[in-house]
């Protein structure tokens, strides 16, 4: 299918631009694919289309990993810090992570606002809220959340982790989100997302892969998310997927 599309495009473009224009290639190799015109003139149209194809393919087909969790649940902290974060560091080219801090919480409508109750009490609601606001306001949210969740005190470490991982971050704006309507509304979205799970979650950490949860996927995610993501990814495998094994099998010989 892909080959056919490429063939048709190539024929059409060659007809349109003429195919004897090789001599007029006047741009350096790094720019050959920068436009259709230069690709045709430099005789590399097929290669450019293919590499663009691969790139857009990769962008659309990332494995979607979602984690439904709560900020103070020990199993969640362990999964987040020891499995999902290191996996994402190695495989972020081929996987997206969606963190939904809410878990076994409950919400009650109270006028314009929602009131939240969390399994591990008030501090957990605060932790969930800080993490939710971080995801809205910092491009380093995952790093900050990782830092918080691996610290002895998730809440107390929040500001230090924030400032450490994202020097641009204004802690004042995080706290005004946490205490204000914005955080309240964002948490409501977490509640809606969690309540919409199908099947409904029975525990946390609860994982979905490409929106799907089964016992088998959950087990694989818990045991080796890395292998699962590599095997589910349909595009060309990144080096990390193949390289890990040989990495673990490298020896220092006694000569």
- How far is the first Cα of the chain from the last one, in angstroms, to the nearest whole number? 53
User: Of 189 and 219, which has the nearer Cβ to ligand NAG?
Assistant: 189
Select from 6, 21, 25, 36 the one that contacts ligand NAG (CB under 6 A).
Answer: 36
Query: Does position 10 bind ligand NAG by CB under 6 A?
Result: no
Q: Does 47 bind ligand NAG (CB under 6 A)?
A: no
**For residues 42 and 225, which CB has a smaller minimum distance to ligand NAG in the complex?**
42
CA distance 93 to 59: 8
Place of tokens 């080796």: 224
CA distance 56 to 50: 10
Kindly state whether residue 49 participates in binding ligand NAG, applying the rule CB under 6 A: yes
Identity of the residue, 187 or 241, whose beta carbon is nearer to ligand NAG in the bound complex: 187
User: Which residue, 49 or 148, is less far from ligand NAG as judged by CB?
Assistant: 49
- Least distance CB 52 / ligand NAG (angstroms): 4
Query: CB 81: neighbour CB atoms within 10 A?
Result: 17
SS3 at position 204: coil
Show contacts with ligand NAG in window 173-202 (CB under 6 A).
Answer: 182, 185-186
Residue 52 interacting with ligand NAG (CB under 6 A): yes
- The position carrying tokens 């741009």 is 27
C-alpha–C-alpha distance, residues 62 and 65, integer Å? 9
| Rounded-to-integer distance, Cα 98 and Cα 207, Å | 10
Binding site for ligand NAG (CB under 6 A): 33, 35-36, 39, 48-49, 52, 136, 182, 185-186
């Amino acid at each position: 299918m892909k080959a056919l599309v490429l063939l048709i495009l190539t024929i059409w473009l060659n007809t349109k631009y003429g195919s004897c224009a090789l001599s007029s290639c006047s741009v350096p190799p790094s720019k050959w694919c920068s436009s259709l015109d230069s690709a045709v003139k430099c005789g590399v149209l097929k290669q450019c289309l293919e590499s663009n194809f691969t790139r857009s393919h990769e962008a659309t087909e990332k494995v979607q990993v979602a984690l439904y969790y709560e900020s103070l649940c020990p199993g969640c902290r362990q999964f987040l810090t020891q499995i999902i974060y290191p996996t994402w560091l190695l495989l972020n080219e081929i996987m997206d992570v969606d963190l939904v801090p809410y878990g076994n919480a409950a919400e009650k409508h109270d006028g314009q606002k929602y009131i939240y109750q969390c399994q591990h009490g008030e501090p957990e609601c605060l932790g969930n809220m800080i993490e939710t606001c971080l995801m809205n306001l910092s491009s380093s949210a995952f790093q900050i959340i990782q830092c918080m969740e691996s610290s002895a005190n998730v809440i107390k470490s929040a500001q230090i982790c924030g400032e450490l991982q994202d020097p641009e971050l204004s802690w004042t704006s995080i706290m005004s989100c946490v205490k204000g309507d914005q955080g309240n509304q964002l948490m409501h979205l977490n509640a809606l997302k969690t309540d919409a799970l199908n099947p409904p979650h029975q525990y946390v950490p609860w994982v979905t892969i490409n929106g799907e949860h089964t016992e088998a996927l959950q087990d694989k995610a818990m045991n080796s998310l890395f292998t699962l993501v590599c095997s589910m990814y349909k595009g060309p495998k990144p080096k990390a997927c193949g390289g890990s094994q040989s990495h673990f099998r490298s020896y220092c010989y006694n000569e």
